[in-house]
Structure 1
Amino acid sequence: MVKEFVLDINKKLAFQETQGSKGTIIAVHGLTGNHKTFYHYQKLLGNDYNFISFDLRGRGNSSPADENTSIFKHAEDLKTFINQKEIEKPILMGYSMGAYICALVASELEVSGLILLDGAGTTEERQRELIIPSLSRLRKAYCSAEDYVTQTRGIYSSLNVKWDEAVEEITHYEVRETPDGWKHKSEASAMEKDFNSFYDFQPEPIFKKIICPILLVIAYGSLGKRDPLFTKETYIETIVSAKDIKTIEIPANHYTLMFEKQEKVEESMLESLKKMRKVKA
């Protein structure tokens, strides 16, 4: 069940939460995603942990993004969420843009662990060439929700993502009816501003301030006929600057990392969580 958390009078976050006894994991999704992106990892961890995933502002059913939206604004939202809910030493899990956000917060608040799912490296111009054109689907109006889902399924097919009920549910949640037809819930202009803020993320000073254990997952698979979104070179500064980091590389691509069950990632995650729980204790 999706709940609502009020950050202040004009800002709310839509979130989903499971109950567990081993601590709290807060999961933060990517640029155009939503809380449902973590389907497989919530299924893995949701019975043992308080697993919280939420829609960043400007996505899903949360409030609109700020006019000057950025990863730094989203990090402030996450800090407010943690502080107002009085969550002590959570484990932060971030995917893609969410990894940047979680790293920022982990550099400022006391957390038990940080799980980075293909994100929080150095952003290059080639990423812009891959990301910005993909935002065009957010500007389009569709005849129906099914029209949007069908067209999105075609895009995912070109990215080697296997279509199943979970992916379909995630996709349905992205779209809403407007006077101009069915549209993505996110504004392309806001997404572009958020992406541009990646370039202001400096891994070295941020990771030097993070003292908790870190698990970094690098998904080196190609995006259909295109190169991977991030490469190991993307993360050199992150890896060198971090005090306590374990890195794994997997052949999945940036999207199949989330939309398909990844056994190697799950095994590494469970092993790393044992260490992170000791930090909390």
Structure 2
Amino acid sequence: MHTDMPGHQTGDITGRVADPRDRFAFGDNWLDFVELVDERRVAQAEASLTGALGLTDLRRRTFLDIGCGSGLFSLAASRLGARVHSFDYDPSSVAACARLRDTFAPGADWTVEQGSILDGDYTRGLGVFDIVYSWGVLHHTGAMWQAIEAASALAAPGGSLFISIYNDQGPASRLWWRVKRRYVHSGPLTRRALVAAGSVYFGARGTTAAVVKVMSGDTPGRARPRGMSARHDLVDWIGGFPFEVASPEAVFSFLYERGFTLRHLKTCRGALGCNEYVLTAPRG
């Protein structure tokens, strides 16, 4: 099997975490988000999974959620009939996922634990899964290509690998790398200012009132596509570091060389955001 990793696609964006401050508190954001989860959001998450995977249910299938975050998609997979294993590097994310499981799916065949996709000893003990899912996670590990490699090894022969990776926008991505690193190295006032500036940049109504709502945490928790929250997604975007990116061609080539075939692709059409891939693992 080919093992060389491609070079990083945007020059100085390596995402390596040498300083413990160089990591966004993803779990704190997810612990706050789980308070918003309701049946409508769960249904949206279910629709996102079944639509991309091309399946109507997940019964008799195993589902691995790498970097489970809030646990919303683990919950969706469980509701669709899968046997679920969720893990996250961040203890607060593990707590958020466990809270969602205990609230919405008590007694489900669903394991939640702390672990890292970059820990070879841990991942070797997991086995393989019918569906390996990691949406918007692997580019935050500090070693994206190593993480993609490790995730792909967990897909059973003929199984599905469902990932999303930030789109490579060249110089714009390098600028966002600096914004995100500034966020994680700053105090509360600067962080709030960066989020407020982000709300204006992304057109959050473009009014002073909208900025005040974001800064106060009072932005309406309306559900976005996939059942997510506009406010929590904004904080995640502004602060999400480590941060790496890749073009669709780079991701596809990397996994094609490892025997994977592309089954589903949803791009952000060259804009800011994630490109979504579902690939079928080689059968042997």
**TM-score range for the pair, normalised by the shorter chain length:** 0.3 to 0.5
The TM-score, its normalising length taken from structure 1, stands at 0.43
> Which has the higher relative contact order, 1 or 2, with Cα contacts under 8 A spaced 6 or more apart?
2
